[in-house]
Amino acid sequence: MLIEIKELKKSYSLGESEIPVIHGIDLNIEKNEYVAIMGPSGSGKSTLMNILGCLDTASSGHYYLNNIDVSTLDDDALSLTRNREIGFIFQNFNLLPRLNAIQNVELPLIYTGIPAVERRERALKSLERVGLSDRLYHKPSELSGGQRQRVAIARALVTNPGILLADEPTGALDSKTGIEIMRLFEELHKEGNTIILITHEQEIADYAHRNIYLKDGMIHSDKLNQRIRMC
């Protein structure tokens, strides 16, 4: 099992009072699944994504990633886990504006401690994979939205992570570019990647093979997608 979540709860303290956001979730995700997590705002899907991505830790319960209980890890180990196991793709791309495309893609490998030459090779391969080998030295400001998201995907792929974690990846893109990105995800899934997609759009969720619907911090429904939409 790639991901195993048991009785996971998360609450934030606001002054004296505790605001529960996730009330208790049990969830298993296998390797090479393509999952969409959906829900209205306030349903706890962003919080769940932060926990899945090891950016945040649960208040109680257990999150096993590759059979390791993440809730017991310290900050350095969490950083290492993010570096090795998680590839983030954000709605607003989150590229470093002062770095060009290839430098942005290299970034995770710097923290892995890969030597410069190998770093460059792998970043190059990753950018080729997303079809951007002609935009290596462009800064994010010189790229279109779709291209920026491709750079972000290349950055997520460059460490060969266990999970690609995409938070509203098409949210800032027009529908045509959005479809191109979804096509890329489909290919990546076919190549064996595990993809977890956070979205509030049913249309986007339709591309995934499994749809989990969150409501009020609990799993409302969890079913396989009967009519997978193809690009």
Partner 1 sequence: MQYGENIRLALQGLVDHKFRSFLTMLGIIFGVASVITMLSIGEGAKREAIAKYQDLGVNNIIVREKSLSDEELEEVRARFSQGLSIQDAHVIQEIVPGVERIASQAEKSTEVRYDDKSVKSTIIGITPDFLGLMNYKVQQGNFISEKHYNERLKVCVLGAGVAATFFKGEDPIGKLVKIDDQWLEVIGVLASKSLFTETVGELAARDLNRDVYVPLSLFLNRFTRDNILSSEIQQITVQINNSDRLIEASRIIDEILKRHHFNNDDYSIVIPYELLKQEEKERQIYNILLGAIAAISLLVGGIGIMNIMLATVMERTREIGIRRSVGARKIDIMSQFVTESVAISITGGLIGVLIGIMLSLVVTLFTDITTFIKPYSVFIAFSFSVIVGVSFGYLPAKNAANLKPVDSIRYE
Binding site for partner 1 (CB under 8 A): 50, 53, 55-56, 75-76, 79-80, 82-84, 88, 90, 94-96, 98, 107-108, 110-113, 116, 155, 159
Closest approach, Cβ 176 to partner 1, in A, equals 27
List Cα–Cα distances, 203 to 47, 140, 166, 170, 225, in angstroms.
Answer: 22, 28, 15, 11, 12
Q: Please say which residue, 6 or 84, places its beta carbon nearer to partner 1.
A: 84
Closest approach, Cβ 165 to partner 1, in A, equals 10
Q: Please say which residue, 27 or 107, places its beta carbon nearer to partner 1.
A: 107
Yes or no: say if 206 and 228 are a contact pair by the CB < 8 Å rule: yes
Closest approach, Cβ 82 to partner 1, in A, equals 5
**Residue position matching structure tokens 């209205």:** 40
Q: Please say which residue, 179 or 196, places its beta carbon nearer to partner 1.
A: 196
Closest approach, Cβ 108 to partner 1, in A, equals 4
Structure tokens at 140: 């994010």
Amino acid identity for residue 16 in this structure: E
Q: Please say which residue, 25 or 156, places its beta carbon nearer to partner 1.
A: 156
Closest approach, Cβ 179 to partner 1, in A, equals 26
d(CA 221, CA 66): 24
Q: Please say which residue, 15 or 115, places its beta carbon nearer to partner 1.
A: 115
Q: Please say which residue, 96 or 228, places its beta carbon nearer to partner 1.
A: 96
Long-range CB pairs of 200-206 (<8 Å, 24+ gap) are 200/38, 200/39, 200/40, 200/41, 200/45, 200/168, 201/170, 202/38, 203/229, 204/36, 204/170, 204/178, 205/36, 205/38
d(CA 26, CA 40): 19
Closest approach, Cβ 59 to partner 1, in A, equals 13
